[in-house]
Amino acid sequence: MKARRLNGDTGALIIDDTNAHTNLNKEVINPTEDTVLSVCTGVDSKGDAANFKTLLNWDGTLTTAHAPLTVPRGYKITAITLTSGEIVAY
């Protein structure tokens, strides 16, 4: 039986401010409260740019009912900026 991952391989990062967080290597966003994303971008498995709000039809407003949001296998979240709220990225 193949092992399945519950979370990312790069540890967890709590983001609770409106600063731009870049140079990330994350796969999952888990909102801990109502949250608004202004930026959520990254790369696909070939290194091409990906805007996850567009690609995955995330409107930018997340609630704990959305938790967790996972990008497709092989993709990585490299930049996140919040308008409000708090997330755990891993």
pLDDT tens by residue, 34-81 = 999 999 999 999 999 999 999 988 888 888 877 788 999 999 999 999
Please give the DSSP secondary-structure letter assigned to residue 72: P
- Return the beta strands (E) in 24-65 as ranges: 28-31, 35-43, 49-51, 61-62
What's the DSSP call for residue 32?
A: S
Closest CA relative to residue 35, chosen from 73, 13, 67, 7: 67
- Please check whether residue 90 is in contact with residue 67, taking contact to mean a CB–CB distance below 8 angstroms: no
Q: Please report which confidence band the pLDDT of residue 23 belongs to, taking 50, 70 and 90 as the band edges.
A: very high
pTM: 0.84
**What gap in Å lies between CA 32 and CA 2, rounded to an integer?**
30
pLDDT digits (tens, 9 = 90+) for 2-22: 434 455 566 899 999 999 999
